[in-house]
Amino acid sequence: MITAVLFLSLAPTGAAADGDEEIGRKIAYRHCARCHVVGDFNPMGGIGSTPSFQLLRKRTDWRERFGTFYNRRPHPVHVRVEGVRQWTNLPPNAEPFTITQDNVDDILAFVETIDGGG
């Protein structure tokens, strides 16, 4: 049962075209930019060991990575997605926040606009 829940929670989200780019930009600037460099918004920001959105966008699997980011360490500790079972009870290492599955699509729509250089 746990395997089935984990598998379903890792399923890719809908196409980025279904998301709202501007909402995704606002979410990324408010929450993601605390750790990641996000486009031209914070070129000198982020945490040194954390990949930038531009670097992640260059990867061939960027859609899958951004579509399931909330299940990738360290995100499950501080990101909650409505309707997705939380798989850890560890205390958050950053200010926790909750988004919807539609917001994940919004983030994908925003990331689609970032030049990955390839």
Question: 47-62: per-residue pLDDT in tens?
Answer: 988 999 999 999 999 9
Query: Please, are residues 74 and 93 in contact by the beta-carbon 8 Å criterion?
Result: yes
Q: Which of 7-16, 51-60, 79-88, 90-99 has the highest mean pLDDT?
A: 51-60
| Distance in angstroms (rounded) separating the CA atoms of residues 91 and 111 | 28
Beta carbons within 10 angstroms of residue 70's beta carbon: 21
**What's residue 78's pLDDT?**
86
Q: What is the pTM of this model?
A: 0.80
Q: Is the pLDDT reported for residue 118 higher than 90?
A: no
> What residues does each domain of the chain span?
2-9+19-112
Give the contacts of 48 (CB within 8 A, at least 6 positions apart).
none
